[in-house]
Amino acid sequence: MNPSRLLSTIIVKIATTKFPKFIQCFINKTYVKIFKIDMEEFEPENPCEYPTLNDLFIRHKKFIEFYEDDDIVVSPSDSEVIANGDIENNYVYQIKGKKYKIDELIPYETQIDGGYYINLYLSPSDYHRFHVPIDMEIVKATYIPGGLKPVKPSQLEKELVFPKNKRVVLRCKDKKERFFYFVAVGAMIVGKIHFNFDERLQKDYEEITTFEYDKPVKLKKGDELGRFEFGSSILLFFGPDHFKYLNQQDNVEVGDILGEIY
């Protein structure tokens, strides 16, 4: 087992262990204090009511507002927008100064050259569940094994990580029958990426594994799509001539407007 996976395994074991209540309370309160989490947004509010640190990681928000217009694409998560822009000659940027080809990330033909990409970074302090950004149908899901290197921006400036880390690629269709891609990237200490619609994606496979859905997996904007167990990254890719980026913020909350399809 490589060092990053070994460290992740150890920390996930600690995070999922139920310690005596007074110890667990101390651990949870310390985590909340270090990462400056406003627990008033969550249910329950008291950190001591979470039986493990992992339960605190995957806490539920009390309320999330999703923009109702059918053509509006919303942020699937609380996150920092670390890069966004046009897909040029099938290249995109991981972060400023670090670019890679789409086929290094997604192992099949996508035909999204000339489209648009958005990279969202979830820090350890963020809400760890992610939601459906627009009404969509999932056509197939592909698990790609890889490392678990950190995805914080300072690390992304040093080396290419997204095309090397463990990830799950969802090929999706919007209501206008155009394909787009939702990529959940694993990271240091992320034990599993959970998708609510297919439990098979929680497993670690030794080779690229694809699940195609003959019966449509149709989801509505705002539905809970899944969760990370620590901070990580979500990458969105849209094809040419059907997405306009509208967001002007560096940091977005789940449900905030990212753009629109047309």
Q: Which residues are catalytic?
A: 78, 131, 232
| Residue 139 to residue 223: CA distance in whole angstroms | 17
- Inter-residue contact 202 to 192 (CB < 8 Å): yes
| Residue 51 to residue 82: CA distance in whole angstroms | 33
| Residue 95 to residue 87: CA distance in whole angstroms | 13
| Residue 212 to residue 196: CA distance in whole angstroms | 16
Non-local (6+) Cβ contacts of 41 within 8 A are 61, 62, 127
Smallest Cα–Cα separation from 184: which of 151, 206, 209?
151
Greatest pairwise CA separation for the chain in angstroms: 56
Other CB atoms within 10 A of residue 228 CB: 27
Task: Please name every residue paired with 210 in a beta bridge, in sequence order, or none if there are none.
Answer: 142
What does each C-alpha distance from 261 to 106, 133, 203 come to in angstroms?
A: 22, 11, 33
Determine the number of helices (DSSP H) and then strands (DSSP E) in the chain: 5, 18
